[in-house]
Amino acid sequence: MTTEFSLQHIIRKPKTNIEKAPVLILLHGYGSDENDLFSFAEQLPEDLFIISAKAPYSMQPYGNAWYAIHFDNNDGKFSDDVQAITSRDTIKNFIDEIIEQYPVDPAKINLLGFSQGSILSYAVALSYPEKVKNVIALSGYVNQGILKDGFENNDFSDLKFYCSHGSVDQVIPVDWARKTKPFLDKLEIENSYSEFPVGHGVAPQNFFEFKEWLEKRL
């Protein structure tokens, strides 16, 4: 892509003749890339301008990450919150670039994140709710350490979340995800939370549920 964008990405233009399209930005998980969630694209609403972003940190031998995860013998694993905050603001800037460069509706910016991409989706939307309309957060959780200071004073009246998790997730404990709904409820943000009997992945019924949720809100 051109150097005008903060993040490398691939796109699927709307299949309908729509002047200002709603946009869905896909944010993949740790160790993956922009092609992963893009496999959903063909089954999503035809009006959507779909943009699948590639995380900025390259991993060896392949894949990308939004931030490093450090494995420590004493404490288990922990996230590099400094890198995560940098990625949070890179995504925010990327949204502005999308609005500037593509024929999309700035009032209809939607995020779909999986795992690490889901954690970043929460961080972007809660820190900059004026930028985002709907969030589909799959297999993630709210990391309060990467939210913008004073985020709780933001206007969340137009923001909506669909959250889901695998009940036997072996990567991100379901207990972490179960804290999401009470957290969003306290902020008076419209949200729904679902669990599916799978591990760290997206069950078919999960896909159909979030697709229907999104279609109703476009």
Query: What was the pLDDT predicted at 190?
Result: 98
The candidate with the shortest Cα–Cα distance to 193, out of 119, 145, 146, 139, is 139
The candidate with the shortest Cα–Cα distance to 121, out of 101, 106, 148, 141, is 141
> Strand 190-196 and strand 76-79: pairing?
unpaired
Query: What was the pLDDT predicted at 54?
Result: 98
- Other C-beta atoms closer than 10 Å to the C-beta of 151 total 16
Per-residue pLDDT at 2 exceeds 60: no
Query: What was the pLDDT predicted at 78?
Result: 78
Query: What was the pLDDT predicted at 3?
Result: 52
Per-residue pLDDT at 41 exceeds 60: yes
Where does the pLDDT of residue 184 fall: very low under 50, low under 70, confident under 90, or very high at 90 and above?
Answer: very high
Per-residue pLDDT at 1 exceeds 50: no
Per-residue pLDDT at 60 exceeds 60: yes
Query: What was the pLDDT predicted at 48?
Result: 97
Query: What was the pLDDT predicted at 4?
Result: 83
For 9-149, CATH gives: 3.40.50.1820
Residues 6 or more apart in contact with residue 40 via CB below 8 angstroms: 26, 112, 207
User: How far, in Å, CA of 129 to CA of 53, rounded?
Assistant: 20
Mean pLDDT, the chain, whole residue set: 95
User: How far, in Å, CA of 191 to CA of 7, rounded?
Assistant: 28
Helix axes 81-101, 116-127, angle to 10 degrees: 70
